């Protein structure tokens, strides 16, 4: 029987429920258990696919093409589980499903209500991940206890415990223990209140994870234990771990969280091995070399807009025993002040995905700088499209070349709408999404990286390389190193006479893990290290 862990948050948001859920998943896996993870987001959008990165941060794409919360990226990076569209639900998607059922008459004339219809729907979503192969499902409830929109989710997980038996579920509450420097005191009251609210909703947490800047004394733990009605050994101290997120599982192990979960859920484990994880941390902390990469984008100011890219660069570093320093460059700044001062001295440049015209010319300038100065360059999705435009304008002499996304009347539409997109008008889940096969040409940088011809990568785009221009590009030194199996879509481009200039139409960052760095990120970092050595 599948057991369930519910992770709720208290006091403030952004405490790292996703990272903690992912870390628990990793620890349970290391003991031979099969784990799956999912997230419930209380907002009304059906999914984050239509939200601005400023608003929501990165949109993470699953193999099956769902546009989901970036916490699913943590789940996949920390564990071996694959996420899919059943791993992220929102208030919007839950209501949408219930309303569709109502329209089909599935409720047989009943009044459709939050309880039981919405809560039943939530419980069904939780059980979608159950199965003979799954020992534990970890469900993260977004937002914090006390939010109005959180209530149906709390009620559903309360009922769920009742339904499957309290011994088969575990409620873990992640909270903040603030330190007031003026009073030089740690404060437990906000946590007491948030647990109080949880108990009002009928949920007694089994374990409390305390995010804290300071060590929690035995006295503080006793107080929390008493007022929150939680065993003292189930008060877990989690001190801030910056800069390495991958340290969180170790902190939790030190505090005995894994043992506690196993004991409380009576799980049968097999082995206990986190050696690989430890060796990654060792490399992260004591790398043998270093390199600096610039990311040129337009959501640079938002902490998590390029989350998977930042992490993948770290993985690429681990793969080369190198520390990767990231220089975040706002593409509009390049448009205003020129490229040189922003990019001088970096060993590699990356232009990530994006939408809309703003900042595109700055990205194109950055790409030109990378091409002309033979600095390793990695273009991803929009980054590949910008590299195509740059090459068209400055190498093929196609003046005014552009993507029809930015200039519908361009004389040279080197990037244009995918054929299948021409009839699409509604937003949300309508792009070319998810895993698509791709065939590599041998003797290319891409082939060198992957070491095989057939690959599959995740996509999220509407526009593509316009094949009408292939001949001119070929004659000027562009290499088309990856195509869709029917050869209709260009998926990877490279440049001759450049140490490493590789651009992909897909998003390799969604498949990179610390334990298994993505081959393109690994090769990019390797090229950057080589560039630095040659030029210094
Ligand atoms: N805006 C471009 C497109 O839709 C690129 C998308 C992206 O970078 N994810 O094709």
- Tens of pLDDT along 98-111? 999 999 999 999 99
- What pLDDT band is residue 152 in, cutting at 50, 70 and 90? very high
Beta carbon of 67 within 6 Å of any ligand 1 atom:
no
151 pLDDT tier (thresholds 50, 70, 90) = very high
Q: Whose CA is nearest to atom 1 of ligand 1?
A: 355
Angle in degrees, 0-180, between the axes of helices 307-318 and 519-535, rounded to the nearest 10: 70
Mean pLDDT for the chain overall: 95
User: Rounded to whole angstroms, what are the CA distances from 167 to 201, 225, 253, 261?
Assistant: 19, 20, 22, 12
Nearest CA to ligand 1 atom 7: 353
pLDDT at 419: 86
Other residues' Cβ atoms within 10 Å of the Cβ of residue 38: 25
What is the pLDDT averaged over residues 12-26? Answer: 95
**CA–CA gap between residue 424 and residue 421 (Å, rounded):** 5
Kindly indicate the confidence band of residue 54, based on its pLDDT and cuts at 50, 70 and 90: confident
* Binding-site residues from annotation for CTP: 13, 147-149, 187-192, 223
Instruction: Enumerate domains of the chain plus CATH numbers.
Output: 1-265 (3.40.50.300), 286-533 (3.40.50.880)
- Give kind and range of the element (H or E) at residue 192: helix 189-200
- Report residue 242 as tokens: 């910056």
Mean pLDDT score, 461-484: 97
The verdict on the CB of residue 386 being under 6 Å from ligand 1 is: no
- Residue among 463, 464, 507 whose CB has most ligand 1 atoms within 8 A, to mutate: 463
Q: What is the mean pLDDT of residues 4-18?
A: 93
Residue-wise pLDDT for 262-320, tens only, equals 999 999 999 888 999 999 999 999 999 999 999 999 988 888 899 999 999 999 999 99
d(CA 407, CA 10): 47
**In the structure, what pLDDT confidence band is assigned to residue 171 with cuts at 50, 70 and 90?**
very high
Q: Looking at the predicted structure, is the pLDDT value of residue 116 above 90? A: yes
> Ligand 1: does its nearest atom lie under 6 Å from the Cβ of 504?
no
pLDDT of 298 reads: 92
Q: Model's pTM, two decimal places?
A: 0.95
Is residue 240 scored above 90 in pLDDT? no
* Model confidence pLDDT, tens digit, residues 337-387: 999 999 999 999 999 999 999 999 999 999 999 999 999 999 999 999 999
Which pLDDT value is given to residue 52? Answer: 87
pLDDT(256) > 90: yes
Instruction: Give the nearest ligand 1 atom to 356 CA.
Output: 1
For the question of residue 459 being annotated catalytic, the response is no
Q: Above pLDDT 70, what percent of the chain?
A: 100
Backbone dihedral region for residue 166 (phi beyond 0: left; psi -120 to 50: alpha; all else: beta): alpha
Residue 536 has a pLDDT of 84
pLDDT tens digits for range 403-459: 999 999 999 999 999 988 888 888 888 999 999 999 999 999 999 999 999 999 999
- Establish whether 509 is a catalytic residue: yes
The closest of 385, 377, 364, 350 to 462, measured between CA atoms, is 385
Would you say residue 136 has pLDDT above 90?
yes
pLDDT number for residue 244:
84
The size of the chain, in residues, is: 536
The CA 534 to ligand 1 mean position distance, Å, reads 34
Mean pLDDT of the region 11-20: 92
354 lines ligand 1 (CB under 6 A): yes
In this predicted structure, the answer to whether residue 497 has a pLDDT above a threshold of 80 is: yes
Q: Which of 173, 315, 459, 507 is catalytic?
A: 507
Strands 463-465 and 412-417, sheet pairing = antiparallel
* 228: annotated active-site residue: no
State whether the beta carbon of 500 lies less than 6 angstroms from ligand 1.
Answer: no
At 384-413, the pLDDT tens digits run 999 999 999 999 999 999 999 999 999 999
Distance 353 CA to ligand 1 centre (A): 6
């Amino acid at each position: 029987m599948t057991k369930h862990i519910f992770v709720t948050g208290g006091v403030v948001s952004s405490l790292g429920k996703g990272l903690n859920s992912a870390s628990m998943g990793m620890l349970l896996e290391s003991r031979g258990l099969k784990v799956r993870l999912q997230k419930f987001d209380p907002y009304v959008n059906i999914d984050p696919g239509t939200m601005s990165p400023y608003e929501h941060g990165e949109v993470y794409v699953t193999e099956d093409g769902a546009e989901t919360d970036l916490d699913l990226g943590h789940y996949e990076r920390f564990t071996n589980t694959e996420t899919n569209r059943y791993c992220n639900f929102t208030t919007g998607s839950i209501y949408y499903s219930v309303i569709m059922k109502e329209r089909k008459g599935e409720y047989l004339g009943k009044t459709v209500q939050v309880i039981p219809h919405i809560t039943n729907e939530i419980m069904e979503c939780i059980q979608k991940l159950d199965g003979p192969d799954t020992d534990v499902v970890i469900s993260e409830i977004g937002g914090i206890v006390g939010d109005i929109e959180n209530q149906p989710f709390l009620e559903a997980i309360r009922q769920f415990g009742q339904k499957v038996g309290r011994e088969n579920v575990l409620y873990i509450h992640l909270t903040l223990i603030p330190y007031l420097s003026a009073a030089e005191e740690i404060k437990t009251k906000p946590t007491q209140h948030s647990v109080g609210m949880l108990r009002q909703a009928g949920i007694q947490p089994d374990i409390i994870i305390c995010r804290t800047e300071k060590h929690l004394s035995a006295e503080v733990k006793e107080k929390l234990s008493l007022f929150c009605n939680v065993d003292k050994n189930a008060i877990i101290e989690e001190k801030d771990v910056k800069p390495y997120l991958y340290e969180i599982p170790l902190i939790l192990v030190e505090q005995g969280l894994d043992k506690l979960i196993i004991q409380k859920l009576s799980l049968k484990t097999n082995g206990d091995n986190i050696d690989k994880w430890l060796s990654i941390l060792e490399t992260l902390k004591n790398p043998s070399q270093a390199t600096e990469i610039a990311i040129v984008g337009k959501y640079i100011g938002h902490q998590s807009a390029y989350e998977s890219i930042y992490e993948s660069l770290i993985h690429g570093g681990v793969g080369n025993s190198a520390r990767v320093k990231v220089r975040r460059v706002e593409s509009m700044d390049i448009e205003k002040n020129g490229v040189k001062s922003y990019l001088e001295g970096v060993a590699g440049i990356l232009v990530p995905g994006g939408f809309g015209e703003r900042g595109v010319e700055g990205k194109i300038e950055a790409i030109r700088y990378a091409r002309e100065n033979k600095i390793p360059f990695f273009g991803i999705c929009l980054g590949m499209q910008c590299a195509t435009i740059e090459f068209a304008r400055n190498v093929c002499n196609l003046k005014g070349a552009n993507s029809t996304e930015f200039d519908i009347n361009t004389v040279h539409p080197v990037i244009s709408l995918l054929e299948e997109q021409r009839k699409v008008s509604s937003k949300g889940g309508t792009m070319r999404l998810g895993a698509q096969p791709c065939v590599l040409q041998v003797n290319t940088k891409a082939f060198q990286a992957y070491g095989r011809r057939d690959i599959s990568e995740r996509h999220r785009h509407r526009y593509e390389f316009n094949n009408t221009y292939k001949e001119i590009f070929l004659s000027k030194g562009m290499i088309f190193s990856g195509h869709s199996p029917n050869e209709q879509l260009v998926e990877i481009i490279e440049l001759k006479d450049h140490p490493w200039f590789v651009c992909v139409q897909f998003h390799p960052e969604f498949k990179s893990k610390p334990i298994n760095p993505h081959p393109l990120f690994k090769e990019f970092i390797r090229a950057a290290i080589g560039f630095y050595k040659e030029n210094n």
